[in-house]
Amino acid sequence: MTLHINYDHSCSNCKAQYIPYDEKVPCPNCNIVEEERFDFIPQAVVSMRFNKSRSGSYLPGAWWVGSLSDHILRLLFSLFDSYEERQDKELSINSFASKWLSEMNWGEQAYLEKHLLLIAEKVGEIIYQEGSA
């Protein structure tokens, strides 16, 4: 068992998919700021911590992607597992995430790279608070 987040959002202007996780988060494709907000970051942290406590890794043994937020969670799980397995222990999560995400093939969703990096940085701030990881 794991914790999913069932949330999808498409920009009202350009139809790009993204998560408006904070009041100042613009569409990463066309840069408009919409009114809709979804409190994704704390929910992502809860899901990640749940998985880590149950199986020792962020990525559970089985993960079904049923929404945009589940897709982003899947990427976060893999990113944070890779970060914790890294050889260079001096590299910060932000630097590691930037490099890791830049190596992905984003295709038509290139706008999501920076969006996911910002989400990873916010999640990392909470996950790696002193004594929290």
pLDDT (tens digit per residue) in 12-33: 999 999 999 998 899 999 999 9
Task: Please tell me which of 51-60, 62-71, 85-94, 113-122 the model is most confident about, judged by mean pLDDT.
Answer: 113-122
Tokens at 43, concatenated: 């929910």
Number of helices (H) and strands (E), helices first, in the chain? 4, 0
Q: How much of the chain exceeds pLDDT 90, in percent?
A: 80
For residue 2, count other CB atoms closer than 10 A to its CB.
18
Phi, psi of 29 (to 5 degrees): -100, -45
Give the confidence band of 133 by pLDDT, cuts at 50, 70, 90: low
The shares of helix, strand and coil residues in the chain, as percent rounded to the nearest 5, are: 50, 0, 50
Q: Quick check: 131 pLDDT over 60?
A: no
End-to-end distance of the chain based on CA atoms, in angstroms?
21
Q: Which two tokens stand for residue 56?
A: 């020792």
Whole-model pTM: value is: 0.93
Inform me whether the pLDDT recorded for 132 exceeds 60. no
Q: Would you place residue 11 in the very low, low, confident or very high pLDDT band (cuts 50, 70, 90)?
A: very high
- At position 99, the amino acid (one-letter code) is K
Chain segment 63-99, per-residue pLDDT in tens: 888 899 999 999 999 999 999 998 888 889 999 999 9
Whether the predicted pLDDT of 100 surpasses 90: yes
